[in-house]
Amino acid sequence: MVEQRLWYHLRAHRFMRLKFKRQKPIGRYIVDFVCLECRLIIEIDGGQHTEQTEYDQTRDAWLRSEGYTVLRFWNNEVLQQMEGVLERIRIAAFPSPLAPLPQVGEGN
């Protein structure tokens, strides 16, 4: 249910016109969401993840070694703070801000 709520915002190019895939195999892992264009992986963690932190750390390290950024959100973050979750995803997808446009009279 939690993944479906986030998927509503990410699917069909709804979020920043980016293409996200759900439950995508990458190497020997299956990730919750991935934007291949941005090399961004999003994981939604429930209570079971408190007992498997070592596995998650190993998994995330491997995914990062393959050039991916991995974002993890707890279920309650997605359910209660969707705007904040989406903002963190936006920042990860576009890490450097656009250069400001020149002001009138600047440049050539």
Pick the CATH number of 2-90 from 3.40.50.300, 3.10.20.30, 3.40.50.970, 3.40.960.10: 3.40.960.10
- Rounded CA gap, 62 and 69, in Å? 11
- How does strand 21-26 pair with strand 29-35? antiparallel
- Rounded CA gap, 75 and 63, in Å? 21
Give every residue of the chain whose pLDDT is below 50, as ranges.
Answer: 99, 106-108
pLDDT digits (tens, 9 = 90+) for 89-101: 999 999 876 645 5
Contact 26, 39 (CB under 8 A): no
- Rounded CA gap, 10 and 25, in Å? 18
For residue 29, give the 3-state DSSP assignment. strand
